[in-house]
Amino acid sequence: MPKETLFGDPFAQPRFDEPYLAETVRTTLHRPVDRVAFSPLPGDASTRQYYRLSLQYPGDSPDPETLILMQLEHPGVKGETDFIRVLKFLQGIGLPVPELFHFDRDRGLLLLQDCGDRTLEATLQSADPATLKNWYLKAVHLLADMQTGATRAIGPDCPAYHLKFDVEKLMWEMDFMLEHFIAGLRQQSLKNTARQKLRELLTALCEVLAGQTPGFTHRDYHSRNLMVHNDALVLLDFQDARMGPSQYDLASLLRDSYVPLPDTLLWGLVDAFIQKKQALENQPIDRDKFVRVFDLMSVQRNLKAVGTFAYQSHIKNNDRYLKYITPTLEYVNQACLRQAELKPLHSALSEAIPEF
């Protein structure tokens, strides 16, 4: 079995063919098509598979129109998926998300707007410092707009309304890290007392985070889930949204495993977010308190990411994320050293993770 695949499950077959696609496009977009070609797109750590459709219309130019087809893990979907419900919610409050053209419940297929191939991560790879700062300011301002607007507008129709980053959920992610990173990938066997002490310290951290005023949280707001389309950012991968601390998505963006930022830029972006949020909500924000929770959230969020990377390797035989573990742990290290209350946790993590 290969150690990794670019296209999700290597054994999953498309639940469609060209005649099905041509008929679906014809009835959905109300345009006849001469030909519909499709090709798989590189996947991430997801159970969904994506295909780009190239549509050739009668008498069209050589450059075909393109759409994205999302194939869910299972067919026979009952009702709308969380992805669709959150998409409609965000679209309803004017946020940039791909347009949904069609949903085939029986086959588990979604036909979506194609927002291109340029993620924010890819855009930044060759960016000069001024361009990088400009894109991150756009991302920070979009985050503030999303968080404020969605928190004000959210109701029972949005799945995130019923979900919260409580202690149980936050600790589930920490236990996932203990199981798949420390015990699984690193094969570190902790004594019962050491494991209990570490869990107690992690629980105390999660209690502080769960006690923050909850707001709408994308939950995976980072450079690989922001597309650059028509010189603006488009939100992706928002189906797991839930209510949580204001700092959650900001930590995901600025303590991104894939794009490290210089400290000067990072703290300037934190200040830009605070200023934007204050203006939108017309309420002052205590910067010291905000930064304290930002650091605590960074610790939890990045330990969770390490657990996910380890799971991909240890369980899914996908080693493409291993290179991100060391820089992600360094984020945890920096936050622990900056906040005095995290020193006991830092010591416990140092015992459990030799390279930490």
CA dihedral 261, 319, 332, 177 (to 10 degrees): 150
The full set of domains in the chain, from first to last, is: 18-113 (3.30.200.20), 120-352 (3.90.1200.10)
Pairing mode of beta strands 215-217, 232-235: unpaired
Q: How far apart are CA 148 and CA 47, in angstroms?
A: 30
pLDDT score of 4: 33
Convert the pLDDT of each residue in 3-22 to its tens digit. Answer: 333 334 544 689 999 999 99
Q: What number of CA atoms fall less than 13 Å from residue 209's CA on the CB side?
A: 29
| 46: its two tokens | 């997801």
Q: Closest by alpha carbon to 236, among 216, 222, 246?
A: 222
- pLDDT tens by residue, 287-339: 999 999 999 999 999 999 999 999 999 999 999 999 999 999 999 999 999 99
Rounded-to-integer distance, Cα 190 and Cα 183, Å: 8
Segment 119-164, tens digit of pLDDT: 999 999 989 999 999 999 999 999 999 999 999 999 999 999 999 9
How many other C-beta atoms are found inside a 10 Å radius of the C-beta of residue 127?
14
Q: Would you state the pLDDT for residue 191?
A: 92
Read off the DSSP letter of residue 248: H
Segment 192-196 mean pLDDT: 94
Dihedral sign of CA atoms 155, 157, 160, 164 in order: positive
- Which has the closest alpha carbon to 67: 130, 31, 127, 110? 110
Binned at pLDDT 50, 70 and 90, residue 33 comes out as: confident
Average pLDDT over residues 255-277: 97
Q: What is the band of 59 on the pLDDT scale with cuts at 50, 70, 90?
A: confident
Question: Residue 352: its pLDDT value, please?
Answer: 94
What are the pLDDT digits (tens) for 64-74?
Answer: 789 999 999 99
- The amino acid occupying position 310 is A
248 Cβ neighbours under 8 A, 6+ residues apart: 165, 217, 219, 297, 301
The reported pTM is 0.92
Q: Residue 3's pLDDT is what?
A: 33
CA distances from 134 to 41, 154, 282 (A): 28, 29, 24
pLDDT in tens, 199-243: 999 999 999 999 999 999 999 999 999 999 999 999 999 999 999
What's the rounded mean pLDDT across residues 264-281?
A: 98
Using a CB cutoff of 8 Å and minimum separation of 24, what contacts does 303-308 make? 303/173, 303/174, 303/177, 303/202, 303/332, 304/173, 304/174, 304/176, 304/177, 305/257, 306/177, 306/181, 306/332, 307/173, 307/174, 307/176, 307/177, 307/178, 307/179, 307/180, 307/181, 308/45, 308/176
Residue 319 gets which letter from DSSP?
Answer: G
What integer pLDDT is reported at residue 11 of this predicted model?
47
Please compute the mean of the pLDDT values over residues 191-206 and round it to a whole number. Answer: 96
Q: Which of the four pLDDT bands, split at 50, 70 and 90, describes residue 61?
A: low
- pLDDT tens digits, residue range 160-190? 999 999 999 999 999 999 999 999 999 999 9
CB 139 within 8 A of CB 266: no
Q: Which residues pair with 111 in a beta bridge?
A: 69, 102
For residue 44, pLDDT beyond 80? no
Residue type, 330: E
Residue range 85-97: average pLDDT?
98
User: Distance between CA atoms of 91 and 290, rounded to whole angstroms?
Assistant: 29
pLDDT of residue 355: 80
Tell me if 109 sits within 8 A of 13, measured CB to CB: no
Strand, helix or coil at 306? helix
Residue 86 has pLDDT above 50, yes or no: yes
Confidence of residue 32 (pLDDT cuts 50, 70, 90): confident
User: CB-based contacts of 144: which residues, under 8 Å, 6+ apart?
Assistant: 273, 276, 277, 280
Band (1; pLDDT cuts 50, 70, 90): very low
